[in-house]
Homo-oligomer: A and B are copies of this chain.
């Protein structure tokens, strides 16, 4: 498994009148976590787009265990299988940094598309190369 941890801090804008992070915001946190995981792999998402690929989300889910609060420091792990696939299944865990309590967990599936046609396509070579190099280096 490929695993990466990102840190972020809850903004006032993220909270709602219940005093906790609005439930849809976690999907934005997941975006940050997968962006940073791809960057850590040496494959910034912006480069994938520059190479003519898109990676839209086709399904997303989250479970909420504890309401994160304003200014909480969060740790978000993103994890995915290292076997190449036209679909990326990424699993997330959001933790309170101070106490390691589990705030939420989630999952997204993204699919490689040709940015021109919007149609699903085989994973780009630059992506496959990154995964191959990972495996070779073990």
Contacts and interface: CB of A to CB of B under 8 A. Distances in A.
Copy tally for this chain in the complex stands at 4
Classify chain A's interface size.
35 or more
Identify whether the interface residues of A are mostly helix, strand, loop, or mixed: mixed
A22 B15 CA distance: 9
Given A56-B67, A59-B62, A71-B35, A22 B13 contact: yes
A12 B31 contact: yes
Contact of A16 (B16, B24, B45, B67): B16
Given A24-B25, A24-B28, A28-B11, A17 B70 contact: yes
Interface of A: 11-13, 15-20, 22-25, 27-28, 31-32, 35, 44-46, 49, 54, 56-64, 67, 69-71, 108, 118
